[in-house]
Amino acid sequence: MKKQLYYYFYTRRDTLFSEINEIHFRCLEYYKEVFDEVFICIAIDDVNDKELIKDTQNIFFNIFNGKTLTFKVMQNDSQLCESKFFHEEILDKLEQLDLVFFAHGKGVSNITDPRCDRESLLHWIIGSYYGSLHHHKIALDKITRDIYFTCGSFYTKRWDMKLYSGTFYWMNTKRINAHIKRHNTYIPKLSNRYEVEYFPYNINIEDEMCSYNGKRLTFDIQHYVGDFWVDSKEYCNILGYNTEEFYNLYKFVVQK
């Protein structure tokens, strides 16, 4: 089965080469060999800005040189963000796909927040890649040889649901499609930007969610969801990401 990256990237002239985006680009470079195929969605405010689209495409061409690479350009939707892409290119095509890793650029706006601790924010971003891709063979075994449908980073049990906080996770799309048909489950209509995080819960496969090492974050206090980009250094420790391999990746993307 093919290992397919589906990546949503919101591009703007003033942030294209920002520190946070560079962190994402280096993480993708670090793990590019994991994937057989790459599908990049470029979300943009002005779809007629051909120069910005080309500049953005060139970044991904350089990262994934030699890979099968497909682009989709779409109008940015500030309410739905990556959820629209997720619905159109993954949920509407489950039968056609294989082992999909969904991810997206994030953190560009958080770095300017007065509450932001830069080191914790970088742990949030880098941990999102590490938690799914560094041990990808274990993750893929879980969703093919084991019972699970999804496996991802920052696996979280809240008082009301389970989710992947920050939305980086692997999906066995054919297994999910079979589950939907077998149980006559419907995919909820697109309504908000957080639907990708909640997708497994929304189709009743929360018992088939996992992380590569079996660890998860737990928030039992009602209505408390946690500020992930504020407290991510602590969360990485809880999830067992504080390894030599993690900090080798951290040094690669931060100091390169």
Summarize the confidence of residues 77-83 as an average pLDDT.
Answer: 93
Helices within the chain (DSSP H only): 19-31, 50-63, 82-89, 118-133, 136-144, 173-182, 195-202, 228-238, 244-255
pLDDT interval class at 107 (50, 70, 90): confident
Tokens 């946690």 found at = 226
Tokens of 135: 């041990």
Q: What is the Cα–Cα distance from 234 to 169, expressed in whole angstroms?
A: 20
Q: pTM score, two decimals?
A: 0.95
Whole-number pLDDT of residue 255: 81
Q: Could you give the percent of the chain with pLDDT greater than 70?
A: 95
Helix axes 244-255, 19-31, angle to 10 degrees: 130
**CA 96 to centroid of chain Cα atoms:** 20
pLDDT interval class at 114 (50, 70, 90): low
Whole-number pLDDT of residue 186: 85
Q: What is the Cα–Cα distance from 76 to 45, expressed in whole angstroms?
A: 5
Whole-number pLDDT of residue 219: 87
pLDDT interval class at 22 (50, 70, 90): very high
Q: Tell me the backbone φ, ψ of residue 124, rounded to 5 degrees.
A: -65, -45
Q: Could you give the percent of the chain with pLDDT greater than 90?
A: 82
Whole-number pLDDT of residue 170: 98
Tokens of 189: 């209509």
Summarize the confidence of residues 68-80 as an average pLDDT.
Answer: 96
- Full DSSP string of 209-234: EE-TTS--EEE-STT----HHHHHHH
Q: What is the pLDDT of residues 154-204, one digit of tens each?
A: 999 988 899 999 999 999 999 999 999 999 988 988 898 889 999 999 999
Q: What is the Cα–Cα distance from 54 to 47, expressed in whole angstroms?
A: 11
**Cβ atoms of residues 137 and 111 within 8 Å:** no
pLDDT interval class at 130 (50, 70, 90): very high
Q: Is 101 exposed, middle or buried (0-12, 13-18, 19+ CB in 10 A)?
A: buried
Summarize the confidence of residues 85-98 as an average pLDDT.
Answer: 97
Q: What is the Cα–Cα distance from 226 to 234, expressed in whole angstroms?
A: 11
Whether 20 has a pLDDT exceeding 90, the answer reads yes
Which residues lie closer than 8 Å to 14 by C-beta, 6 or more apart? none
Whole-number pLDDT of residue 178: 96
Mean pLDDT over the full length of the chain: 93
Q: What is the pLDDT of residues 213-255, one digit of tens each?
A: 999 999 876 655 556 777 899 999 999 999 999 999 999 999 8
Tokens of 198: 């909640």
Eight-class DSSP state of 6: E
Whole-number pLDDT of residue 112: 62
Which residues lie closer than 8 Å to 80 by C-beta, 6 or more apart? 190, 192, 193
Tokens of 211: 């992380």
